[in-house]
Amino acid sequence: MNNRFIVTIRKITITALLLLISSQAFTKIDPDNPAIMSNFGYDYIETRVNASPITFGAAISESIHPNAHAVARIDSDFESDYDAVLGLGFHAPVNNWADLMGEMLFHIQDKGENTNTGMELNLGVRQWLGPQLEVGMIAGYISIENDNHWLGSAYARFHSTELFSLGIAARINNAYNDQLMLTTRFKL
């Protein structure tokens, strides 16, 4: 078997598994049922500053269903480059303090020489540690052209009010390699 066929089968398998896992989030449509409500808000605008290399970014997320959201984000170091993402995600409560979430994302990356496209699949958990402190982790798989690798992130976010939060996050093996970032998030 050639390598391209194996990569295609791997992408199809990961997509099918993510759809199978996320299908539970779409089975009920009654918004009054607490079993489908989330422990977190998925309607926000986010700005961030990333270190090493220094990049700037923004993101927006909007709920499209009680357990699904659309997301778009972009990062750049303003040297004729960008990493833009657009996709859909799901979220469902695990217990009273945590949500399971996942996303299927389309990537467009331009590193100054050429523009490449690909996809990312990720799963994560968001957890309340206290009334104002949220922590989370995300693990995923990204495939852009012939570059396939795993990625991850871990973060902590302090919710100073219901409408505003500050966060710190570490991204591992992302478009700009490993990064530490500071974020601000505003509820829509």
Count CB-CB contacts under 10 A for residue 163.
12
In tens digits, the chain (188 residues) has pLDDT values of: 567 766 677 777 776 666 555 555 444 444 555 544 678 989 999 999 988 788 999 999 999 988 999 999 999 988 888 999 999 999 999 998 999 999 999 999 987 778 889 999 999 999 999 999 999 999 999 998 888 899 999 999 999 999 999 999 999 877 788 889 999 999 99
CA distance 135 to 153: 11
The strand pairing partners of 90, in sequence order, are 68, 102
Query: Which among 102, 81, 48 is positioned nearest to 175, based on CA atoms?
Result: 81
Please, are residues 12 and 144 in contact by the beta-carbon 8 Å criterion?
A: no
Residue 5, pLDDT score: 66
**Residue 175 to residue 142: CA distance in whole angstroms:** 10
Tokens of 31: 């918004």
Under 8 Å between Cβ of 70 and 88: yes
The pLDDT of residue 20: 57
Rounded CA gap, 88 and 70, in Å?
A: 4
Each domain of the chain, given as residue ranges in start order, spans 3-187
What is the DSSP secondary-structure string of 109-176?
EE-SS-EEEEEEEEEEEEEESSSSEEEEEEEEEEEETTEEEEEEEEEEEEESSSSEEEEEEEEEEETT
> Under CATH, which number does the domain 3-187 receive?
2.40.160.40
